[in-house]
């Protein structure tokens, strides 16, 4: 069950018949203790560390799309750090499983409601696996202004 409105709206999108025809399986992860990604950043002068569980895992064939849901325009320093560290985490994971000759690949995205429709289009026609999709929140989070990483 989802607690936040942006997550509930995303569930409605992936439960649509258009997506259900395409998807093999999906799961909404728990807030803690499911699949944890570590991150760190500087909060003022103090280094801060934490971890988070991405909200959704969507499976199509050998591909897993990992989604973290945020409110529109939530480009906090903490979210910038989460995004940066999670991108690196899944890039490193893909390199390791490729070395092991495993076909599965992970595709990580931050999403907010203003990009759901576009994401669904890219997801349903497989462009999301060509790394051609970028959400509006990802563009905001990629801006390096004001955030310091450890």
Percent of the chain with pLDDT over 70: 93
Q: How far out from the chain centre does Cα 141 lie?
A: 12
Averaged pLDDT, 60-84: 94
| pTM for the structure as a whole | 0.88
Element (H, E) at 106: strand 105-111
pLDDT per position as a tens digit, 78-131:
999 999 999 999 999 999 999 999 999 999 999 999 999 999 999 999 999 998
- Confidence category of residue 45, pLDDT binned at 50, 70, 90: confident
């Amino acid at each position: 069950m989802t607690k936040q409105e942006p997550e509930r709206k995303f569930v409605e999108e992936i439960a649509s018949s258009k997506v259900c025809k395409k998807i093999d399986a999906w799961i909404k992860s728990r807030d803690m203790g499911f699949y944890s990604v570590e991150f760190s950043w500087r909060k003022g002068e103090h280094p801060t560390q934490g971890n988070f569980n991405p909200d959704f895992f969507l499976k199509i064939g050998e591909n897993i799309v990992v989604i973290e849901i945020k409110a529109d325009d939530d480009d906090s320093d903490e979210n910038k750090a989460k995004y940066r560290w999670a991108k690196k985490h899944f890039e490193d994971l893909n390199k390791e499983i490729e070395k092991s000759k495993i076909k599965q690949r992970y595709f990580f995205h931050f999403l907010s409601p203003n990009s759901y429709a576009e994401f669904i289009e890219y997801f349903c026609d497989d462009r999301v696996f060509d790394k051609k999709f970028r959400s509006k929140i990802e563009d905001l989070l990629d801006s390096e202004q004001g955030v310091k990483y450890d």
